[in-house]
Structure 1
Amino acid sequence: MIPNWILQRSTLTPEQVAVSFEGQSWTYKEINDLALRYASKLEALGIKAHDRVAIFATSTPQIIFMICGCMHLQCEMVLLNLRLSKTELAYQIQDSEAVAILVEDELLNKLPETASPIHSFSKVSDVSAIAFTPTDEWDENDTMTIMYTSGTTGFPKGVRQTVGNHVSSATSSLYNTGLVEDDTWLCTVPLFHISGFSMLCKCLLHGVRLELLKKFDVEKVVDFLVDGTVTRMSVVAFTLERILTELEHRDVYVSDKFQTMLAGGGPVPIDYLKRAIKRHIQISQTYGMTETSSQTATLSSKDALRKIGSAGKPLFFNQIRIENAKAPFEQGEILIRGKHVTPGYVGRFSDKPSQQDGWLHSGDIGYFDDEGYLFVVDRRSDLIISGGENIYPAEIENVLTSHPSVREVGVCGVEDDKWGQVPNAFVVLNNNVEVNELLVYCKEHLAGYKVPNKIYIVDELPRNGSNKLLRRKLKELI
């Protein structure tokens, strides 16, 4: 059993500022008081302890109050991605079997029709509270969050993350970074992502402040970095480059109080690392996934240039091995073990084991060098990483092949200066159709970042002797 995080934190450091947002702030005692109120109101709406609820909201303090209220109720929270289409949202709501949807008022019209009851944030606020007493302890094996990640079959998988998973992730991170006076995480990533939610968990467990932005705003971010009011943040290569450009434009440097910038979502170009050092930014490249509740390995900033392209070493408690590798530099699938690894999935994939003999098979190919540093060679062979977002070609292919004029589809990632990669689609037609019509069709059924940057009409797709699509050959058709 693990003590109720919110109760214990509000007891240990009640006056410590927990969350800051647009000039307002809330202490840990105030967060707990609000969370208890939200929990009682949710219970008044018929939501019971351990119920599975979906949350659809932007990154404002209201979603934090709602999340903490759900934590008091020990609800399983399905965190819905704001960038999804109604079709994608409908799949996740149905697949997760959420008993209710908690939604920010301004987003009501973005939800699909669903049999699950919908409770707007204002409805929750307006309902009369009833008596509610939180439990003092949580079972570490209880599911806390469910986040959907793209699957190789084209159907997203609902990944379970337990109380113990999040505790393990936050603890390993703390052993890696330590704490400093006035530690503050600047959160510009969505709280429905594992990177954002894990940041909230770290703050609750470590008792530090979360400086929250509703979305990435490079001017505000640079203001925080320069004035020294934040000490840590997470970025992807795309957002890092925008920060560097703004710092260079102003000809200013990051405050000495700033400690670490975690960079995930793919390798960081060497040019970015050199530019960051000039602006006094300590970059720590990381490797992790939704199934590992965020970080699994991290490269220390002091090794950033010495080990270009490396994801570093496993964090404390975490284990990584390369399947069938007998010596350094031998490549194989990256296998992961630790208390941060998901115990499994929900819905369509609930019977799919997440581990084999205690190890998570990541699907990524990598190797260790002769000093024990991990290098990720392929980010799941077909995966497209666009602006830090993971896109599986099968998802786009499934949508396009559902169009009556389309017979076959192949999708691959193409390098892009702005996003790192963008998806391109290659289509064999049943009958004539305009490319623009296909793009509109994609926009109706896919999140914006998954819509192909270009669609090419081709006579045939490259295949092997078994008629398996050879995605690596698709670029040759351009």
Structure 2
Amino acid sequence: MTAPMPWRSIPELVRDAADRFGDAEAVVDGDLRLTFTGLAAQVRRTAGAFASVGVRPGDRVAVWAPNSAEWAIAAFGALTAGAVLVPVNTRFRDEEAHDIVVRSGAKVLCVENGFLDREFTGPPGVPVIDLRADGFLGSGEPLEHKVGADDLADIIFTSGTTGRPKGVMTTHGQTLRLYAEWCDLAQLRQGDRYLIVNPFFHIFGYKAGLVASVIRGATVLPLAVFDLDRVLDLVERERVTVLPGPPTLYHSLLQAGSGHDLSSLRVAVTGSADIPVELVRRITTELPFTHLMTGYGLTEAGTVTASRPGDPYEAVATTVGKPCEGFEVRLAEDQEVLVRGYSVMLGYLDDPEATAEAVDADGWLHTGDLGEIDGDGRLRIVGRKKDMFVVGGFNAYPAEIEGFLLRHPAVAQAAVIGVPDARLGQVGKAFVVPRGTVTEDGLIAWAKERMAGFKVPRQVEFRTELPLNATGKVMKDQLS
């Protein structure tokens, strides 16, 4: 059994972090250096500011802004006022964002105008607060509303790559228990300096980033937009120790790291994308990282599985580890990954039909991901049910084929989709970002030697980049 959490809510966590870590740096954002004591004080005053504009316990506060100290203060301030946080994807256009603001019932919308040269508007009737221009943050009388572990903390909308985004509801207690364990698995330590590239509107950036850092007493360095030169500069100047991100981030570091002092780096964390074994080896031998964690998570449950310290390269590269404490993972007859545990969402906001479809009567969350479980109990993700295509009667899984292609030394990134074929119904088409000399015929011939014929892509299209959403996932609807 897990020991009881010392905090009932995220506001309690922020207040307790001020007592535990005091004058240690909590957030470093440009010229702003905010201690844990200063962060807690700003958060309580911001809670008062939200109350002064009519935000009451249980109301929703939407934040449509990039990673920044202001995002953290606004989010924690809203929670401390007893409100429910609704993060909004900064890549959404007005119509997409307004849909989420309206459906969530947000009382106010917080933005940062000028980000990506945009003006962020709100839907009719919803006040808009510019976090950097309106003097709102820290402007109220200090306030902390009592919040319980079972109270709703946030509504985080799914990415929308497979349809209209759905609002996932999670409590304070669920988040605190899961990401306290995440700190142990990632080996996050007090005094770490954590460069957060993953967006705060996503659970990787917000919960495995911002919340985890406050749990453990690590310094957050938020990065609004990924820029390799900026990353290299911050790592060297601020002595960054923890740097999570997609596999492409580590490819970039390997290619551009020379000439920069990266010796402070200790922890790397990446997601459920298939990673070549060779890349895992290079991350921990050619870069200073001493710990690389991989894992599998989704908005509806948080981090479900993770690798463990000491796992062999092969396991870290080809699986997403074993279930976290308190989770059960099994496979349905069609290989769909099913998950059950304390952190599975309360449900989708105002959508009981979708909730019942996702979480069955026995509490199993149907993830839509297809997987395998090896003899040691480690989970391997082989694809998405909706991505699977059928080649002459055989099921082909893009993630598996992409994993094979990534083993080619000249392939940096790969995405595979099914395209119509007069004889076989569908065949695979690969979109490849090369990092060396490779031809279409050469890559197809190479693939034929390593995978079953029905899996081999019939076409290869080379690109300089793949279309990615803000969380690093390939937007396959933009590939054809």
Q: Following TM superposition, by how much is the alpha carbon of 1:207 offset from its aligned partner in structure 2, in angstroms?
A: 2.0
Q: 1:355 aligns with which of 355, 359, 370?
A: 359
Q: 2:323 aligns with which of 314, 321, 328?
A: 314
CA contact (8 A) 1:41 1:125 kept: no
Which residue identity does 1:120 align to in structure 2?
Answer: D
Aligned equivalents of 1:413 and 1:132: distance in 2? 58
Which residue in 1 is equivalent to 2:154? Answer: 145
Q: Following TM superposition, by how much is the alpha carbon of 1:310 offset from its aligned partner in structure 2, in angstroms?
A: 0.7
Q: Following TM superposition, by how much is the alpha carbon of 1:227 offset from its aligned partner in structure 2, in angstroms?
A: 6.7
Residues 427-465 of structure 1 show CA distances to partners (whole Å, capped at 9, x for unaligned) of xxxxxxxxxxxxxxxxxxxx997596556xxxxxxxxxx
Distance 1:268 1:449, change over 3 A: closer
Q: 1:189 aligns with which of 182, 198, 209?
A: 198
Equivalence map 1:87-166=2 (5 Å): 87-106=95-114, 109-111=119-121, 113-121=123-131, 125=135, 129=139, 131-135=141-145, 137-150=146-159, 154-166=163-175
Aligned equivalents of 1:222 and 1:60: distance in 2? 18
Q: Sequence identity, in percent?
A: 22
Which residue in 2 is equivalent to 1:2? Answer: 8
Distance 1:123 1:46, change over 3 A: farther
Residues 299-349 of structure 1 show CA distances to partners (whole Å, capped at 9, x for unaligned) of 24643522241111112333222235xxxxxx7221112222211111445
CA contact (8 A) 1:44 1:129 kept: no
Which residue identity does 2:433 align to in structure 1?
Answer: D
Unmatched segments (≥5 aa) in structure 2: 1-6, 389-397, 403-414, 418-425, 436-471
CA contact (8 A) 1:157 1:349 kept: no
Aligned CA-pair RMSD: 3.4
Q: 2:346 aligns with which of 343, 348, 353?
A: 343
Distance 1:128 1:201, change over 3 A: closer
Distance 1:39 1:296, change over 3 A: same
CA contact (8 A) 2:112 2:120 kept: no
Equivalence map 1:262-277=2 (5 Å): 262-276=269-283, 277=285
Which residue identity does 1:2 align to in structure 2?
Answer: R
CA contact (8 A) 1:89 1:111 kept: no
Q: 1:382 aligns with which of 383, 387, 409?
A: 387
Q: 1:417 aligns with which of 429, 433, 437?
A: 433
SS of structure 1 residue aligned to 2:198: coil
TM-score (norm 2): 0.74
Which residue in 1 is equivalent to 2:25? Answer: 17
Distance 1:16 1:333, change over 3 A: same
SS of structure 1 residue aligned to 2:244: strand
Unmatched segments (≥5 aa) in structure 1: 325-330, 394-409, 420-446, 456-478
Aligned equivalents of 1:416 and 1:343: distance in 2? 39
Q: Following TM superposition, by how much is the alpha carbon of 1:177 offset from its aligned partner in structure 2, in angstroms?
A: 3.4
Distance 1:30 1:323, change over 3 A: same
Residues 163-206 of structure 1 show CA distances to partners (whole Å, capped at 9, x for unaligned) of 11211221221232345452222111211111110111111222
Aligned equivalents of 2:196 and 2:8: distance in 1? 26
CA contact (8 A) 2:186 2:269 kept: no
Q: Following TM superposition, by how much is the alpha carbon of 1:61 offset from its aligned partner in structure 2, in angstroms?
A: 1.0
CA contact (8 A) 2:189 2:217 kept: no
CA contact (8 A) 1:183 1:208 kept: yes
Q: Following TM superposition, by how much is the alpha carbon of 1:370 offset from its aligned partner in structure 2, in angstroms?
A: 0.9
Q: Following TM superposition, by how much is the alpha carbon of 1:253 offset from its aligned partner in structure 2, in angstroms?
A: 7.2
Aligned equivalents of 1:176 and 1:115: distance in 2? 44
Aligned equivalents of 1:155 and 1:359: distance in 2? 22
Aligned equivalents of 2:474 and 2:279: distance in 1? 23
Distance 1:26 1:53, change over 3 A: same
Residues 252-285 of structure 1 show CA distances to partners (whole Å, capped at 9, x for unaligned) of 6742x53321111511223422332322334222
CA contact (8 A) 2:189 2:216 kept: no
CA contact (8 A) 1:283 1:304 kept: no
Aligned equivalents of 1:131 and 1:350: distance in 2? 42
TM-score (norm 1): 0.74
Q: State the structure with bigger RCO (CA 8 A, min sep 6), 1 or 2.
A: 1
Equivalence map 1:202-351=2 (5 Å): 202-225=212-235, 229-247=239-257, 249-250=258-259, 254-255=262-263, 257-276=264-283, 277-281=285-289, 282-293=291-302, 295-300=303-308, 302-307=310-315, 308-324=317-333, 332-348=335-351
Aligned equivalents of 1:221 and 1:98: distance in 2? 34
CA contact (8 A) 1:53 1:101 kept: yes
SS of structure 1 residue aligned to 2:300: helix
Which residue identity does 1:201 align to in structure 2?
Answer: V
SS of structure 1 residue aligned to 2:245: strand
SS of structure 2 residue aligned to 1:65: helix
Aligned equivalents of 2:353 and 2:33: distance in 1? 40
CA contact (8 A) 1:312 1:374 kept: yes
